[in-house]
Structure 1
Amino acid sequence: MCFYMQMKDPKPKVEARFKVQASPESLWPQSEYFNGFSFPKIALITDTAPHQLQTNFSWGLLPSWAKDSDFRKNTLNARLETLTEKPSFKNITHQRCLIPANAYFDWHWLDPQGKAKQRYCIHTSEELFAFAGLYSCGQHPETGETINTFTLLTTAANATMAFIHNTKKRMPVIVKREDELRWLNHEIEPKALAFPYEVPLLAFPY
């Protein structure tokens, strides 16, 4: 799973890496440690604007039928295996995005009782990579205002993440650099990103 991530690089560096541009007036969401459960705004790239870095999307997908915004705590992640079955995701599998990041965080449980754990910082050999995600644009159920939200796709863990995430053994889908535009252009089906599709990961206690 993935509920915590890092985007610490400045906007120009991210623009150069992904060959995109953000609006000059947009605030840049930058943090060593984004907590998904606070539903932060995080920069992403959508399939409808593949050359634009958008900064008005909040983590935690809000389906159109949700009665309150706290529902998003259930949709920070979306399992690849059940995308077409879950009401939250089955109608938006065509609404694809990339979420640039420097790293993400997960915990390794040190004892069977689940009372002691070690946090790890996980990243790739590149300074910047991108998670695969889905997005939604709709109305806030409480205010009626437009709200843009997204979720990260997850798959079965590779060897590194099976050791770290040693309970559910899941990991977020990180798109290979050569597949990033292919994902946005709908040239890759979601199921093709399921493990054993993977990007090698590096992990360190944090």
Structure 2
Amino acid sequence: MCVDIAFHSDIQITKEAFPGLVIKRTPAYSIEFNEQILGPLFPECSVIVSTDGRQEATTMEWGVFPTWITDRKERDIRRNNQLNLRSEKIFTETASLAHKLRKRRLLIPVNGIYEHRKVNGIKNMVPYFVFYPDGKPFYLPGLYQQASVVDNDGVVTENLSFGLLTTGANTTMAGIHNSGTNKHRMPLFLTEEMAQSWISASLQENEMKEILAYKIPDKDLEYHPVYSIRGGKVRPDGMPKYTLWEWPGLPPLGQDNAQSSLF
């Protein structure tokens, strides 16, 4: 699952890709929080939607809210499983949540995503930061839900929540996301042109299928290992979480046994 993203750029920079963008709302988080936005917290995230013919930047909660579940613990477990939605299910499983939400499309602006790699001989999973070569924000596709939710006090509120679309991994991402029940998956990375089309109200089903079938070339992704992003550990060098961290003995992707030092 992709449950860690980073969006540390000012939302204003997205106007370079979306010149007519109306910035309606932005999350009130610290720069440090935005260096690693953790999905299982169900945080408010910046998203871009098309509303009444105009593109808007607003916020929605990450993790599609399961409105039919009243037990909070059970609801959070189910919601955690809806942080990601499999893109393949949109047109192949009509009973799936992805199919039901297929007309509610959005984009999640990010500077990059985090994913963990298992390496034999290294005790902990090695986290990687994956980003586009130009270093600019890019836009991941997702689907959203608008629903009436009753809180613990019985108050009804309108809830907007989304799931991030995933697909089968390319060679690079398969080398990084190489373990776990959802291994060899990755976000549906898009070109900027595809991202623009994704939220267009005029998008046709055949065009949508073309976008969903896209697999980003390996050369169009950059990546490097980073310091631990689990357990609240602070980087010893004080650098942002997404910056390079050298792991001793870390082998190249595809070679999953740690290298021993010769000295």
Q: List aligned pairs for 1:1-206, cutoff 5 A.
A: 1-19=1-19, 20-23=21-24, 26-29=26-29, 31-48=34-51, 50-55=54-59, 57-67=60-70, 68=72, 69-70=75-76, 71-84=78-91, 85=93, 86-111=95-120, 116-126=124-134, 127-142=136-151, 143-167=155-179, 168-185=183-200, 186-187=203-204, 188-190=207-209, 192-197=211-216, 200-206=220-226
Work out whether residues 27 and 44 of structure 2, in 8 Å CA contact, stay in contact via their aligned partners in 1. Answer: no
Identity percentage of aligned residues: 28
User: How many Å separate the matches in 2 of 1:63 and 1:176?
Assistant: 31
Q: Post-superposition shift, 1:179? A: 1.4
Q: Which amino acid aligns with 2:8?
A: K
Kindly provide the CA deviation profile for residues 11-40 of structure 1, in whole angstroms up to 9, marking residues without a partner as x.
2222333321213x7545551010000011
AA paired with 1:87? S
- TM-score of the pair, normalised by structure 2: 0.69
SS in 2 for 1:42: strand
**SS of match in other structure, 1:78:** strand
Quote the Cα distance in structure 1 between the aligned partners of 2:189 and 2:215: 12
Alpha-carbon distance change, 140 to 10 in structure 1, aligned in 2, over 3 angstroms: same
**Contact 2:194–2:211 (8 Å) recurs in 1:** no
Per the TM alignment, residue 48 of structure 1 is displaced from its structure 2 partner at its CA by: 2.8
**Higher strand proportion, which one?**
1
Does structure 1 conserve the Cα–Cα contact (< 8 Å) formed by 2:132 and 2:222?
yes
For the 8 Å contact 2:88–2:212, the answer to whether it is kept is no
Size of the aligned set, in residue pairs, is: 203
Kindly state the Cα deviation for residue 81 of structure 1 after the two structures are TM-superposed: 1.6
Shift of 1:197: 4.9
Report the Cα offset of residue 193 of structure 1.
Answer: 2.1
3-state SS of 2:88 partner: helix
CA distance in 2, matches of 1:27, 1:102: 16
Q: Could you tell me which runs of 5 or more consecutive residues in structure 1 were left unpaired when the two chains were aligned.
A: none
Q: Partners of 1:9 and 1:106 in 2: how far apart?
A: 20
Alignment partners' CA distance in 2, 1:198 and 1:66: 40
Q: Could you tell which deviates more after superposition, 60-69 or 148-157?
A: 60-69
Match of 2:251 in 1: none
Distance in 1, matches of 2:214 and 2:55, equals 28
**Residue aligning to 2:234:** none
**Structure 1 residues 137, 80: closer, same or farther in 2, change over 3 A?**
same
Larger radius of gyration: 2
Displacement after TM superposition at 1:198 (Å): 5.0
| Bigger relative CO (Cα 8 Å, ≥ 6 apart) | 1
TM-score (norm 1): 0.87
How much is the aligned-residue C-alpha RMSD, in angstroms?
2.4
Which moves more between the two structures, 128-137 or 28-37? 28-37
**Paired residue secondary structure (1:196):** coil
Question: Any unmatched runs of 5+ in structure 2?
Answer: 227-263
